[in-house]
Amino acid sequence: MIETLASSGCHGGRQSFHAHQSRITGTPMRFGLFVPAHSGPRPVLWCLAGLTCTEETFAIKAGAQRFAADHGLILVTPDTSPRNHAGGDAADDGSYDLGQGAGFWLDATQAPWAPNYRMASWLLDEMPEVLLQLAPADLARQSIMGHSMGGHGALTLALKHPKRFRSVSAFAPICAPSEVPWGEKAFGAYLGDDRAAWAAHDACALIAGGKRIDEILVDQGMADQFLEAQLRPERLEAACARAGITLRLRRRAGYDHGYWFIQTFIEDHIAFHAERLA
């Protein structure tokens, strides 16, 4: 059963928020959904948010619905981890970059995370069925984008499932999580100490290991407080150059890590995906 938590008219379509009991995470899971007014099956853009975010953050702050409405795209904004909503009993950690709000879009293999922290399987194997119960989604036409931790999720899932996602883009993605503090902490906890297991969840390592997609769009603010310590777009640039992947990396002077930056350039990302989903 899918519960509707809220539903409102928005740019001629509807923005809603939902919860369902996930068979994959074993907890209630929440997501936001924008369905444009267009009739007939519509393409789907999955929008993955970053650390500390929920299903509401991208939906409320990115300003994407206006452009999704113009292009006739369905937007889905999944929560970033399992949580202890009614009936939920997921592990947590007191810090903002591990546990609830920090699922890293992967399936954890280590205790205490493994039973519930299965964000990749939830997104790939369960959410499409759930979506079909709510919206006229054309699952033959899916694309994925994300911000920061969600940018890492979008890149890694697109690299691993090139037939599923027609296009991928990111704002300020964590490009080489195995080599930066956010990723080292999360991967150590979720995947264990064996760094060989981390490579399957690291965009740069996946590309170095032979995964290929045609193109990637990235916007990165040059006043981003996490740029050098956590994001490392130059690593992605080098990996793509070696692999022959077309990376459009746009360095934006004066923009930080936040949603003001995303809001400024979201129109371009929606248009990029719409063109490839047409």
Ligand X SMILES: N[C@@H](CCC(=O)N[C@@H](CS)C(=O)NCC(=O)O)C(=O)O
User: Catalytic site residues?
Assistant: 148, 224, 257
Give per-residue burial for 215-228: e unless 16+ CB within 10 Å, then b: ebbbbbbeebebbe
Q: Which positions from 78 through 97 interact with ligand X, judged by CB under 6 A? A: 96
32 and 65 in contact (C-beta within 8 Å)?
Answer: no
Question: In a 10 Å sphere around its CB, with 0-12 CB exposed, 13-18 middle and 19+ buried, how is residue 253 labelled?
Answer: exposed
Question: In a 10 Å sphere around its CB, with 0-12 CB exposed, 13-18 middle and 19+ buried, how is residue 130 labelled?
Answer: buried
**Total Cβ atoms within 10 A of residue 104:** 31
The span from the CA of 9 to the CA of 68, in Å, is 14
Question: How near is the Cβ of 224 to ligand X at its closest, in Å?
Answer: 9
The span from the CA of 38 to the CA of 216, in Å, is 28
Q: Which of 232, 257, 273, 276 binds ligand X (CB under 6 A)?
A: 257
Question: How near is the Cβ of 226 to ligand X at its closest, in Å?
Answer: 7
Query: Total number of residues binding ligand X (CB under 6 A)?
Result: 13
Contacts of 162 (CB under 8 A, 6+ apart): 211, 212, 213
Q: Which of 16, 54, 57, 169 binds ligand X (CB under 6 A)?
A: 57
Nearer to ligand X, 53 or 157 (CB): 53
Q: Which of 33, 44, 51, 76 binds ligand X (CB under 6 A)?
A: 51
Nearer to ligand X, 52 or 109 (CB): 52
Q: Mark 138-157 with x for binding to ligand X (rule: CB under 6 A) and - for no binding.
A: ---------xxx--------
**Contact range with ligand X by CB under 6 A, out of 30-38, 103-111, 214-222, 255-263:** 255-263
Q: Which residues bind ligand X (CB under 6 A)?
A: 50-53, 57, 61, 96, 147-149, 257-259
